Structure 1
Amino acid sequence: MLVHTRCRIGKRIETRLIGWALHERYTTETVLGPRSFTGRHYWGEVRDRGDQTGVSYVEPLTGEAADTVARELGLHPFPDDATGTTVAIVDPDFGSRTAAEAMRWIADAMVWNLWPKMLPGADGKPPLRLSVVHDGTTVPVSDPAAVPHLGPFVHAFRSMDRTIEHRSLGRVLGTFGLKPLISPFGEPPEPAREAGIVGRVHHACLMRPVDLVVKYLEGPAPTDEAMGYAAVFRADSAMDRVFAASEPATHDDWLVEKLSGDEYRLAGWAMREIKREMKDAAAPRAQGVESGDGVSLARMSRLMSGLMVGAAGQGGAAVFGSPDGIRQPGERSGTAPAGSMAKGPSDTTVNRSGRRGARVRHLDDPFPDIFEGRPVVVQRFQLPDSGPYEVKAVLGVTLGGGGREDSPPEGAAVPEVMGWTSDAGDFATTRTLQAEGGDGKVWSLLVRPAPDTVTQVTLEAGFREVSA
């Protein structure tokens, strides 16, 4: 494995290159007797420790030497002012995996371990941009927020609102956030399963202030089989040294028992508080659905397997209600469907009046979630064009038999718009969204579904007229 890095040290930029191979542990004889080695072999600039052991160590090549060797090895050079890291695996052994499976594993492993660094910062840019290339072919790297089992951790990270502290020692230990959720369907990718997330999500993601995942700590599973939770604990910068000292050589755990004194008390208290929060999240609690007959969240979750479709989806639709958010009987819409039926991101480019230009970009398929203790379905989207937008959600119910009702049965529940949220913290409870486009914000429409139905959504967008 070759690692070619361009990093910033103070006001200067330095290039580094080192190679290593990972093998089994072994023991060999030295002048001081038997000595155990980890099995990690390094290639670079050999340095002598200068002691009586006669043991040397390896430092990376730096500067022009690093650039020259990297170029001779076929690694792409960095632009003059760019920073980053290239990891090249030479003659890889994929074992039982095919090349495509191995590349997918690498891309998924990067996302599940590095996702906090992939989120946009205050300037709208992520600190880390990831790419995977195999024999010249680019392998897609997923958006962490759009990965079903990982997205809730992203939401919890963005909404960390609890400070964990040790009051008697007067120390802030870190910040914590937890998001209840309806368990996504299917299995998470292989790297997540290897990290202990199998099926349901009931874990806390532990990280130090450098925002790299240390571990997904498993907590108790909720009694409701459809429910789960995703939590995030980020150690305070003043506690970084303490948690770093608790990590094994693999940096994939916090072993509090390695510590002593106040450090043991501080780290131990943090872990107990994290586990207590997860225990509280797993405790049974009443969840109601505001309709005639109550529906359990487990049943609701199963109903949500085909939860939202676009106006052009399969089956007929019952669309009814009032002008502010629910389409009237017989009303026609010029919009394209909101649901993208597993097509991935797509743009809707026609507004209600048929005037083109006001686009809505759907970022992923709708997914079930929990908002303020209630089951909702979420459609994430962006407004890519600059200008004052007005976005309206038209809701309906798809009927499995292919028929179409003009109005709901008397007393029947109908889907409702609960509100609109953005990744910048905006929140609106209006039936229509008025927002500026072209600013890169990711918006989410929150819909409360009607029980025992499949909810149909169309987003209608137009540019608002703004008086001078």
Structure 2
Amino acid sequence: MRSDEAVPPGQIANFVQFLRNVGEPRDNQLGGGTYGFGKGILYRVSTASAIVVDSHNNDGDQLDRRLMGACLGETYRRTSDNIRFTGRHWWGEINDDIPDPLTGSRAVAVSLDLGLPGFSDGRTGTDIAVIAPDFTLGTEEEHEEMPVSAQDVAFRLRRALYWNLWPKMATGKHSAKMNFTIDVEGRELEFLPLTELPIFGRFAEALDTVRSGEYSPFTMKKYQTTLGPLGRFSTEYTISDKFTTDSPLAREILTHAPVKPPYRHIARMRSAELVVDYLEGDPLGTPDFGYLGVFRATDNADKYFAESEPPTHDSWQTGALSGDSLGIVRQAKQYINQECRALAEARSGARTKVVEGLGRLSSALGAIINNATGTRATLNNGASNSGSATAPRKMSEKSFSVIRQSRVVLVDNEPCVEARVAVSLRPETLTLDAKASVVLPNGKLEKEGDEPAGAQKASVTGWYPLDSEDTPVLGPRITVTSGMAREWAVRSPLLPDVAVTITVQEVSTE
């Protein structure tokens, strides 16, 4: 319970480290902290710079209850004798002029008097009460101090939990490592699974890949034999249009997100899986498509990355590093940037988990970059199509025109590729065929039968009227007569991770 006491073998001085000491090196291997400065935020958000800590622990084979107050204030001098004080204060039971925590039944009684939750259910754990919390917080956008309600603080805490601690939540393939709840005056806030939230679902998939062993390793030749891989890296492609959501929680989280479109962000973390920051890579060249990923330091390299983190643990800085730490941390950032650049250029293949059609994925993404506008529709009036989009044609001489090239849209909350076509009915009936194809890196279209084994083929769902109540026409062919709609949307299912183009051509009825 005191800093000058020797720690018995097999025990960890958690109480002393939390309430007595500041700046002590960690003794928890691969732990998230380094020197114990992070707990200072608890005092910072108190207008009295004070907290009360109530703990129920299993010290050895016996349950132990401890209650203590603490303050981390400014230094001062006592005017009567000019003695300088550190500004640290404790409240408890005074023994030999030193405050110790209340223990046992006395701790239980005072905890009840203070209205703390207590541990009547027998569970072990720790409750930390912030005295007179400061609800005057700087806004996240303008850094201006303004008063906010307890509910506003709770919403902000929830956003912080998601963006900093989402790896501790259930990721789809792995169960949650922590359970989070927030309640305001008895009303509990909603927490949605990562799989139901935009962006987080893709981050979670990348982390699952890192955990499962199908990752891309970051290695350095110098440390190959001694440390092995120094980091694990994985990415998942994403589509921005799919992020439309009716969930108030999802909208709130995206509004205050540290990552903004076009998405090309890598969540960096150490072995403890606490998000350090989100590193921006090269964009894919179109706002509709992007990627999200994870870089996690390996256990063998964890200490080198820990040395690069400031007390806030929100970046990997190399300014004060030297030797192995400097080389590893600096090279890790270069590695991530190179991998992201490779994704954007689509030359070396995606560093993601192995999927069918990986070669086609790389080629198709190359087409996105080369053509600079992404998935698109092209016009084909009978001639062979080169795969590059043309501008919409005037309808004065043509029987139909593509009035909007393909783009990713949401229809009934499902993404698809859609192009829009207008017809002039010259002659009075017009038959059109639509074809959906995967774009290759040279701009040409993938031929039927050339797709990788097991890969899903591009197909046309049907034609859907835009300016009338006509019935949709399923399949790739439509015959338009004088009484039918003049503008149609032709749609194709969205294929994962490839560029799809829709070609339209007139079919001769002779």
Q: TM-score range by the shorter chain?
A: 0.5 to 0.7
Report SS of the residue matched to 2:199.
Answer: coil
Tell me the alpha carbon deviations over residues 264-311 of structure 1, each in whole angstroms, 9 at most, x when there is no partner.
Answer: 212222222122222333447313759765699xx989642x33358x
Alignment partners' CA distance in 1, 2:464 and 2:83: 73
Alignment partners' CA distance in 2, 1:192 and 1:265: 35
Report SS of the residue matched to 1:246.
Answer: coil
Look up the match of 2:115.
74
> Contact 1:27/1:34 (CA < 8 Å) preserved in 2?
no
Paired residue total: 328
2:165 is the counterpart of 1:114: yes
Considering fraction of residues, name the structure with more strand.
Answer: 1
> Contact 1:120/1:127 (CA < 8 Å) preserved in 2?
no
Alignment partners' CA distance in 2, 1:415 and 1:244: 48
TM-score normalised by L of structure 1: 0.55
Alignment partners' CA distance in 2, 1:62 and 1:129: 28
Shifted more, 399-408 versus 268-277: the winner is 399-408
> Contact 1:116/1:211 (CA < 8 Å) preserved in 2?
yes
1:45/1:68 CA distance change after superposition, 3 Å: same
> Contact 1:209/1:234 (CA < 8 Å) preserved in 2?
yes
Q: Report the Cα offset of residue 47 of structure 1.
A: 11
Which of 266, 286, 295 is the aligned partner of 2:367? 286
Look up the match of 1:181.
238
Residues 48-447 of structure 1: matches in 2 within 5 Å?
Answer: 69-78=110-119, 82=123, 86=127, 88-95=129-136, 96=146, 97-119=148-170, 125-160=175-210, 161-170=215-224, 171=227, 172-183=229-240, 196-283=258-345, 285-287=366-368, 303-304=408-409, 306-309=410-413, 399-401=465-467, 402-408=469-475, 410=477, 415-416=492-493
Which letter does structure 2 place at the counterpart of 1:104? F
Between structure 1 and structure 2, the one with the greater Rg is 2
Q: Report the Cα offset of residue 7 of structure 1.
A: 7.0
Which letter does structure 2 place at the counterpart of 1:176? F
Which letter does structure 1 place at the counterpart of 2:335? E
1:259/1:417 CA distance change after superposition, 3 Å: closer
1:195/1:100 CA distance change after superposition, 3 Å: same
Q: Which runs of 5+ in 2 are unaligned?
A: 1-50, 137-145, 347-365, 369-373, 380-386, 390-403, 415-439, 442-460, 479-488, 504-510
Which letter does structure 2 place at the counterpart of 1:183? S
1:47/1:300 CA distance change after superposition, 3 Å: farther
1:80/1:220 CA distance change after superposition, 3 Å: same
Percent identical among aligned pairs is 29
1:239/1:408 CA distance change after superposition, 3 Å: same
Q: Report the Cα offset of residue 10 of structure 1.
A: 8.6
> Contact 1:108/1:141 (CA < 8 Å) preserved in 2?
no
1:120/1:199 CA distance change after superposition, 3 Å: closer
Report SS of the residue matched to 2:183.
Answer: strand
Q: Report the Cα offset of residue 250 of structure 1.
A: 1.3
Which letter does structure 1 place at the counterpart of 2:115? G
1:245/1:232 CA distance change after superposition, 3 Å: same
Cα RMSD (Å) of the superposition? 4.9
Alignment partners' CA distance in 2, 1:21 and 1:116: 32
> Contact 2:206/2:236 (CA < 8 Å) preserved in 1?
yes
Alignment partners' CA distance in 1, 2:501 and 2:63: 57
TM-score normalised by L of structure 2: 0.51
